[in-house]
Amino acid sequence: MAHIKAKKTRQDNEVRKYWKLYLTKRLYERGYQKEDIIKLFRFIDWVMKLPKELENSFWDQVTEYEEDKKMPYITSVEQRGIEKGKREGKVEGKKEGILELIEVTLEIKFGAEGLEILPEISQIKDVDVLRAVLNGIKIKNTLEELRKIYL
């Protein structure tokens, strides 16, 4: 459904936001387990990209919905962690800023195990590869999948 709606809303981001929110809420309403919701949401988020302004509005609505339903899942935490890092002056174009964002998102998504690969990621000198790792954290489900980006 996400793929179909993404194709149909290619020219109308407001409608795309509506469908992205609708599909996200349905994940909760269908009674899926937390892990399944996170995995399915990652796909929806990947397929249904929004401009920054609408994406922020979307996240506000998801956060509000999660709070109302008392279901704060990691997807919104991940997103907020990334945004907080950017607001605190971390410039994505600089290696140090990207590494700090990677550290935060690794810990949020994978816990202590995620931080174990930080030393090997810190050795990467190419900023574009670091950006790919940061983006990969959002869509990869295991550390091994993430390692494939930079090894």
Query: Residue 138 is encoded by which pair of tokens?
Result: 């959002």
pTM > 0.95 = no
pLDDT of residue 74: 44
Q: What is the pLDDT of residue 146?
A: 92
CB 143 within 8 A of CB 117: yes
**Contact present, 138 and 78 (Cβ < 8 Å):** yes
User: DSSP labels for the chain?
Assistant: -HHHHHHHTTT-HHHHHHHHHHHHHHHHHTT--HHHHHHHHHHHHHHS---HHHHHHHHHHHHHHHHHHT---HHHHHHHHHHHHHHTT--TTSHHHHHHHHHHHHHHHHTHHHHTTHHHHHT---HHHHHHHHHHHHH-SSHHHHHHHH-
Q: According to the model, what pLDDT value does residue 128 have? A: 84
Regions of the chain short of the pLDDT cut 70: 71-94
Q: What is the pLDDT of residue 86?
A: 54
Domains of the chain, by residue range, sit at 2-72, 93-150
pLDDT at position 90: 44
What's the pLDDT score for residue 72? 56
